[in-house]
Structure 1
Amino acid sequence: MSAKEAQARIRINRLLEDAGWRFFDDEIGSANIALEPHVKITRTELDEFGDNFERSSGGYVDFLLLDERGFPLIVLEAKAEDKHPLVGKEQAREYAESQNCQFIILSNGNMHYFWDLNSGNPYVITHFPSPDSIDGYRSNSTDTSALINEPVDDDYIALTQLPDYASQAGWVNESERSAFIEKNRLRFLRAYQKQALQSIQSAVAEGKTRFLFEMATGTGKTLTSAAVIKLFLRTGNARRVLFLVDRLELEDQANKAFNFLLKNDFTSLIYKEQRGDWRKAEIVVTTVQSLMVNNKFERLFNPNDFDLVISDESHRSIGGNARAVFEYFTGFKLGLTATPKDYLKKFDAGKSDDPREFERRMLMDTYRTFGCESGEPTFRYSLLDGVKDGFLINPIVVDARTDITTQLLSDEGYSVTLPISEDEEESKETFYQRDFEKKFFSEPTNRVFCETFLANAMRDPVSGDIGKGLVFAVSQHHAARLTQMLNEIADQMFPGRYKSDFAVQVTSQIKGAQQYTINFANNNLLGSANFIDSYKTSKARICVTVGMMTTGYDCPDILNLALMRPVFSPQDFVQIKGRGTRKHNFLEQLFDDQLKDAVVEPQKLHFKLFDFFANCEYFEEKFDYDEILELPKPRSGGGGGEPPPPPELYDSLDPDAIQEVRETQIGVEGMRIDRMFFKRFEDQVQADSELRQHVDDENWEQAAAELVRKYFHKPKEFFDEEKLSKAAGVDRRVSLREILEKVFGLIDEFKSKDELLEEEFHKFMLDLQPEDAQHISAIKYFFKAYATDGELREIIKEGRFAELHVHPGFTVTDYRAVPEQWRNRVPQYVRDYLPLDRFM
């Protein structure tokens, strides 16, 4: 038996026992794990092999898990850890059918799939189901035909809100219908929202249990989600739904929406507010972060407590270890994301065996999670679709770069010429993103930003005030200074009107900032209707933020967005731009009919995007869409302890001025970033015959040097290992050799950080052979944490073990679980053999 087979067997045995399955009779109950028919194994044999058994005289040992009556319930097909679990799929199906089993688990010890033969395809699970949970899941298996055949019309939600609306006089009389809808706040599905639901019905008819919606900001993901929830609950395909979000304000926002839309049929609640009564609700809303703390989700819920799990902003809320929460639950899964398809689409399919290669590199984890391995979501509705159909709007871009911000743009990146000291001549320093945030620009530059913004901002069509807006700053310190400047300038423009209430800093350091975002959306930040009694609009006109109000923030009456910082990520740029794309009728906030007649343009048809750093030009003309701008790794800390105080911004009294204010209305064709995500880096490199020859000759050192010399850090591309790693969707920095191997087809995919760690851990265990196999999980967890966490390495090195009590990733309990002899072996091996830069 190979070591890989042994390691897989150890983990599978442990996972079964942890889930409550028993190899032998004990005080809890009878054994409910049977090995392959006619193969028996005794406790003595199990101890003798140390759980490392794999073969018997009858062949490979399979697991047959039994129900409480001793009947076959689940077939567990085990493979060695170097084999993909799905290779045993058909073998397991044949065996399950012969045993009359509905359920199958496919596992190699590291990756596990659960398969209900009656309802779809295998899907990833992170824990083995317990005997109780799987039996409960079996008893609640449903007939999907009701869901597939459920009629879904545009009044699908309205029928829940007001079941007899169509027979009421206000609806029957067409002249009164608009007022009737507004009075009863009825919500009707748009054509594309119905198509989204119909796409799920079609997917379920094909046996799928996972779905992904890619819908642009402002296209009604919450309303669509409510309709999906009703579809599953009403047809009996779900008893209870879990709605996962990744921020507190989205938790409250979603719960209020579901109660408003579905309260006549179903109950929605926020888990943390009603922990004792959550089972009484059909819809439970919570943040994924709250469930991740100490794996709380495993203690609070059974895997089959929710039959439908919806992940909002799924590109983030299932990222990293948060995915464990999502995968823990059985049943149907739906992901929602605002990332349009067009960000990912740009390459010559005719020159590649894989015409969706780069798209999958960036987002394949999301697609795979939701059963969309082809890279096509279950349903897509992009910003361009929304603009074309008249539901969304594009911005008026206000290009207002200054002398200094223009100077910051160079062939090398963002740079600025500054005197190093009074005695030296000027010397040019180059700042990349994180550096740039520390050494920002001068007070005069900040002031000219604020003055230009307020002088050219769109005005509220009712009150004539500066239209509501968001300003995006570099850091919390920068946000504080911009807020002060905006209030000072507003006092000059509108003497005595605002009294420092014009602009508000909304960042994580500000107490109550979360409520500020809600109040701003509800037009009650620092007061409302202050200047026109019958008009409800926030007294505070501008929120200055860094990142709190970028994703999922719904405030449709925003008229002005200002980028007072460079933006390096296309995703961030699109999310920020999306805050303004919703349409709005300002008369909805005005309660004086005479004043309504005087409003010339009550509809929001445009919004302004102020760009002080040529971000739009960069993403339109210069960004290569294989990458994001260069982001050097932060300098390693000096051994834990308190983080350093926030750096002071670079200060100068040198004057600065706007070079030109140029406004450009974006048409229905959208911005380039709305049409594509990145072009193909491979196209350029694959055409280089000299590089190809070096690779063919396996002259890797010279090939790497040529790659850097010819293609890296050029004015148009700015390629490097880190940015190409991000473009490929890899969670680590890939090496130059790996890049060359991928470009020239020598490898199919880049390995993830965890895959590399698994390989290194196997080498480590083969080299040192653990005596105590039962602690292998604890040793592996320590190995991975130590290899990837610089702060943890410093804590261990300096013996500051008390700090593990507050360490977020590796606790004192984790450390104590590691046998004493391994606490030194792991660090020594990592120091001697692991190239840690591969895991950055």
Structure 2
Amino acid sequence: MAAKEAQARIKINKLLEEAGWRLLDGMGGKANVMLEANVKLDALGDNFEATSNGFVDFLLLDERGHPVVVLEAKSEDKNPLAGKEQARKYARGHCCDFVILSNGNLHYLWDLRQGNPELIVRFPSPASISEHRKFEPSPNRLTDEVVGIDYIVRTQYPDYESDASYRNLAERDAFILKHGLRFLRDYQKRAVHKLQDAVAEGQTRFLFEMATGTGKTLTAAAIVKLFLRTSNAHRVLFLVDRLELENQAKKDLDSYLKNTFTTVVYKERRDAWRGAQIVVTTVQSLLFNNKYRRLFSPTDFDLVISDEAHRSIGGNARAVFEYFVGYKLGLTATPRDYLKGFNPDRPSTRDPREHERRLLLDTYQTFGCASGQPTFRYSLLDGVREGHLISPVVVDARTDVTARLLADEGYAVVRQDADDLDGDDEDTFFHTDFEKTFFSDATNRVFCETFLQHALRDPVSGEIGKSIVFAVSQNHAAKLAQLLNELADLLFPGKYQSDFAVQVTSSVKDAQQFTIQFAENKLLGSANFIETYKTSKARVCVTVGMMTTGYDCPDLLNIALMRPVFSPSDFVQIKGRGTRKYNFLKTLHDDGLKPLVAAPEKTQFKFFDFFANCEYFEETFNYDEVLRLPARTGNGDGKGTVAMGDASTDQVTYSHLGGDAVSFLAQQQVGPDGMKIDRMFFERFEEAARADAALREQIENGQWDQAIEYVVNHLLDKPAEFFTLDKLRRAAGVDRRLTLKEILQKVFGLIPAFKSKDEMLEDAFQAFILTNQTRLADGDAQAIEAMKYFFKAYVTDASLRSIIDGKQFTELYVNPAFGMADFNAVPADWRNRIPEYVKDYVSLNPFM
């Protein structure tokens, strides 16, 4: 026992010294560690708990010699939490806000002002504790903070509302654009409110699952401001998983918050980061040589935000994330539910989704969402339905060669082995081998020709729209860039001098800068076709993986997968690069040309798929508009060469020397239900509900109250699937709030489909007209459309209801959704009649 106690003391002393605490007076200054009264450091023998009180407390002092931390030390064989209450009592007696509980191996840091003891791997430094004391966290201030759509704008431009240009509706849009003002969208505001609700319930970890293009960084900025403004954090760590995302994150956060808070990239401010409220860095940078443990204390950051969380906290990176105490927010664009149909117990262990599944499950567990329900979710389909994002036109193109590589039996190649006197050997290649052990220049050429032939054109200049091509490897990227430049020279003679396509991979100098210049429309020049139209001269970036996660280039019109993809999150990220909306007139600086652009708004993008990746993730490509597999081709021309590789691996390489051609080409706009990988699974609930005999009997007997109660008690929030009403609503893909009764009606075939919000509004308005048809005057018939517009707006817009009910009609002059002109178009008698009818007969719940 004595040995364990002595060993614990030695370890605790060392941990204190490593963190910068001084046990004895020395050149660094006076000792700032004091033992319990009447116990001297050099008097501590083997049995360091054998004191008059049965334990030893360390008091850690600030620069003025005042106690700031109580360190409760236990022997190695005791759980340090056993001394929790005694340490709390002792800390309060010394007016300390912090407690460290340690047995030399396991350590907890406890901020008595909030929360519970949190596990740490290193003791906090004196400077970190001193800094941490300066702010006084209060969850109540955080939850009570009012967050409106202008929460960020009030930091960017505090007096925006009083500016004459903003007050003038004709100038407002230009004013907002000029100053880069970012109003929160409704769903972004809801995300912040969800976090506030979670904090009110005592949660400290949160996960936002938001599709690419829905403004995760803007939402995160609102969260950062919320924590800093309410003093629930004195400094925030923003983790990204790629080097090229550091500057982008800083740029975005600066544009939102720089008037109040300072943001730095750690590698650029290694010696001055403490002067900032927001520090951006990559996980890899902190992991290098255990930098996070050597240079930071656990209390240096009170809020840690992990962008693309399932990547930035996977593997060893988890240590960085867990090192810091305080609140944790994860951001991800990758939905977990698309893996629900995946069976981890299937015999094959080669399924690439297994790793992805584990990462996602681990991520949800880490952020306190083990049930599979994130703190807030906003999917790609939500964004498409609400008009914030766009779906792709999938171009499924397969050549003779790739069709054979994709076939179950693969591409069989016969070779004669000089050592095999009995005959020929057969090697088989699959799509996974393309540009690794199976090479075909003809196939690469067909890829490029097909892409150029069918790519969307820039609506202003008519040139090939800005595009990203994803290759198998860096060598493959070099080949594709060369081919695209050769073909572009034929299509556009004299327009490009090998500037059409650029290889953007890690082996290329300044590749990271290329990605930025491409987004800013100045890669290798700009305005190549029209002098007054600023768009990148380079039209195609050929990469392997640099421009996937977090890359923001909204004017992309084409994305091409000239490689197979096996990671679901990679597929979602790559596809997500094109979902952002864009108006191409933004960079056309010639007012005379603007009226000549027929369709300046980006309403679609093309997603070229040369390896049936969509089908792979759909399993049977099972969304409403099915793209069928092409008919199998023949054996081809059989031309090629086979070479034996390294004898240690016995790897065969094959160079296909024959020609290749497109064997199948289909273009299909993704429907409103989206891709299966974007949808949540409604089918599981249908199966569970239909299989329940008791529920089925209640439905058949029309016992709806009993059936709804039964579902709530027996099917919802159960560990098997954790079905919830909110989740089922999202799964159904309807743009309004469904009732549980409607869901059951659909499940049991009592209604053919769910009605959309507008369909229900049309029905409600028709009922209103039928009810009031005797009141319709001759002139009212001409105002039906105006009445309908007012009816729908009043039902769906809470702010308009407040204006009308409060008779604050002057506010209609500045209401962007329903203005005074719209109100005046409604006949006077109906301006009161419509609100009265809605209040009495229309349930607002489905439209909220």
Identify the residue that residue 539 of structure 1 maps to in structure 2. 537
**SS of aligned partner of 2:208:** strand
Identify the residue that residue 382 of structure 1 maps to in structure 2. 379
Cα offset for 1:581? 1.2
2:444 is aligned, of 443, 446, 461, to 446
Q: Which range moves more in the overlay, 647-656 or 598-607?
A: 647-656
2:506 is aligned, of 491, 505, 508, to 508
What code does the residue aligned with 1:18 have? E
Identify the residue that residue 96 of structure 1 maps to in structure 2. 88
Distance 1:550 1:111, change over 3 A: farther
Is this contact kept in 1: 2:336–2:360, CA < 8 A?
Answer: no
Matches within 5 A, 1:169-568: 169-346=164-341, 361-411=358-408, 415-421=410-416, 425=424, 427-430=426-429, 433=432, 436-568=434-566
Is this contact kept in 1: 2:518–2:536, CA < 8 A?
Answer: yes
Distance 1:502 1:110, change over 3 A: farther
Is this contact kept in 2: 1:21–1:33, CA < 8 A?
Answer: no
Cα offset for 1:287? 2.8
**SS of aligned partner of 2:224:** helix
Distance 1:277 1:486, change over 3 A: same
Alpha-carbon distance in 2 for matches of 1:74, 1:383: 50
2:618 is aligned, of 617, 620, 633, to 620
Distance 1:235 1:140, change over 3 A: closer
Matched, 1:116 2:100: no
Is this contact kept in 2: 1:304–1:330, CA < 8 A?
Answer: yes
**SS of aligned partner of 1:566:** coil
RMSD: 3.9
Matches within 5 A, 1:618-657: 618-621=616-619, 650-657=654-661
Alpha-carbon distance in 2 for matches of 1:608, 1:108: 60
What code does the residue aligned with 1:182 have? L
Distance 1:307 1:670, change over 3 A: same
Distance 1:557 1:418, change over 3 A: same
Q: Which range moves more in the overlay, 383-392 or 366-375?
A: 366-375
Distance 1:649 1:467, change over 3 A: farther
Identify the residue that residue 141 of structure 1 maps to in structure 2. 136
Q: Which range moves more in the overlay, 598-607 or 443-452?
A: 598-607
What code does the residue aligned with 1:73 have? V
Alpha-carbon distance in 1 for matches of 2:5, 2:430: 50
Matches within 5 A, 1:34-53: 34=35, 45-46=45-46
What code does the residue aligned with 1:247 have? R
Identify the residue that residue 776 of structure 1 maps to in structure 2. none
Distance 1:158 1:139, change over 3 A: closer
1:152 is aligned, of 147, 150, 155, to 147
What code does the residue aligned with 2:153 have? A
**SS of aligned partner of 2:394:** strand
Distance 1:495 1:7, change over 3 A: farther
Matched, 1:19 2:19: yes
Q: Which range moves more in the overlay, 116-125 or 71-80?
A: 71-80
Cα offset for 1:439? 0.9
- What are the superposed Cα offsets for residues 545-565 of structure 1, whole Å, 9 maximum, x if unpaired? 111111111111111111111
Identify the residue that residue 32 of structure 1 maps to in structure 2. 33
Alpha-carbon distance in 2 for matches of 1:237, 1:116: 12
Cα offset for 1:586? 1.2
Cα offset for 1:258? 2.2
Distance 1:326 1:65, change over 3 A: farther
Identify the residue that residue 661 of structure 1 maps to in structure 2. 665
What code does the residue aligned with 1:96 have? R
Alpha-carbon distance in 2 for matches of 1:140, 1:125: 21
1:607 is aligned, of 596, 605, 608, to 605
**SS of aligned partner of 1:242:** strand
Cα offset for 1:600? 2.1
Cα offset for 1:345? 3.7
**SS of aligned partner of 1:376:** coil
Is this contact kept in 2: 1:467–1:560, CA < 8 A?
Answer: yes
Alpha-carbon distance in 1 for matches of 2:661, 2:9: 69
TM-score between both structures, scaled by the size of structure 1? 0.68
Is this contact kept in 2: 1:360–1:375, CA < 8 A?
Answer: no
Alpha-carbon distance in 1 for matches of 2:245, 2:571: 20
Matched, 1:590 2:573: no
Is this contact kept in 2: 1:335–1:370, CA < 8 A?
Answer: yes
Alpha-carbon distance in 2 for matches of 1:416, 1:679: 37
Alpha-carbon distance in 2 for matches of 1:606, 1:388: 14
Cα offset for 1:57? 9.3
Is this contact kept in 2: 1:438–1:648, CA < 8 A?
Answer: no
- What are the superposed Cα offsets for residues 299-341 of structure 1, whole Å, 9 maximum, x if unpaired? 5444444333323222222333334444444443332222223
Alpha-carbon distance in 1 for matches of 2:466, 2:231: 44
Cα offset for 1:2? 12
Alpha-carbon distance in 2 for matches of 1:102, 1:276: 28
Higher relative CO (CA 8 A, sep ≥ 6), structure 1 or 2?
1
Alpha-carbon distance in 2 for matches of 1:10, 1:262: 46
**SS of aligned partner of 1:495:** coil
Distance 1:663 1:116, change over 3 A: same
Cα offset for 1:579? 0.9
Identify the residue that residue 755 of structure 1 maps to in structure 2. none
Distance 1:29 1:441, change over 3 A: same
Alpha-carbon distance in 2 for matches of 1:173, 1:605: 29
Is this contact kept in 2: 1:386–1:392, CA < 8 A?
Answer: yes
Cα offset for 1:669? 1.7
- What are the superposed Cα offsets for residues 701-750 of structure 1, whole Å, 9 maximum, x if unpaired? xxxxxxxxxxxxxxxxxxxxxxxxxxxxxxxxxxxxxxxxxxxxxxxxxx
Distance 1:136 1:468, change over 3 A: closer
- What are the superposed Cα offsets for residues 673-695 of structure 1, whole Å, 9 maximum, x if unpaired? 22369999xx9xxxxxxxxxxxx
Is this contact kept in 2: 1:93–1:104, CA < 8 A?
Answer: no
**SS of aligned partner of 2:197:** helix
Is this contact kept in 1: 2:303–2:327, CA < 8 A?
Answer: yes
What code does the residue aligned with 1:428 have? D
Cα offset for 1:512? 1.2
Cα offset for 1:199? 2.3
**Consecutive unaligned residues in structure 1, runs of 5 or more:** 47-52, 349-356, 625-636, 684-840
TM-score between both structures, scaled by the size of structure 2? 0.68
Identify the residue that residue 571 of structure 1 maps to in structure 2. 569
Is this contact kept in 1: 2:113–2:137, CA < 8 A?
Answer: no
Matched, 1:671 2:675: yes
Cα offset for 1:431? 5.4
Is this contact kept in 1: 2:356–2:568, CA < 8 A?
Answer: no
Cα offset for 1:206? 3.0
Alpha-carbon distance in 1 for matches of 2:338, 2:4: 40
Is this contact kept in 2: 1:119–1:207, CA < 8 A?
Answer: no
What code does the residue aligned with 1:32 have? V
Alpha-carbon distance in 2 for matches of 1:546, 1:140: 45
- What are the superposed Cα offsets for residues 795-834 of structure 1, whole Å, 9 maximum, x if unpaired? xxxxxxxxxxxxxxxxxxxxxxxxxxxxxxxxxxxxxxxx
**Consecutive unaligned residues in structure 2, runs of 5 or more:** 344-353, 623-645, 688-848
Cα offset for 1:506? 0.6
**SS of aligned partner of 1:593:** coil
Alpha-carbon distance in 1 for matches of 2:484, 2:568: 28
Q: Which range moves more in the overlay, 292-301 or 227-236?
A: 292-301
Number of aligned residues: 642
Alpha-carbon distance in 2 for matches of 1:5, 1:498: 76
Is this contact kept in 1: 2:468–2:540, CA < 8 A?
Answer: yes
Alpha-carbon distance in 2 for matches of 1:317, 1:372: 17
**SS of aligned partner of 1:674:** coil
Alpha-carbon distance in 1 for matches of 2:414, 2:388: 51
**SS of aligned partner of 1:196:** helix
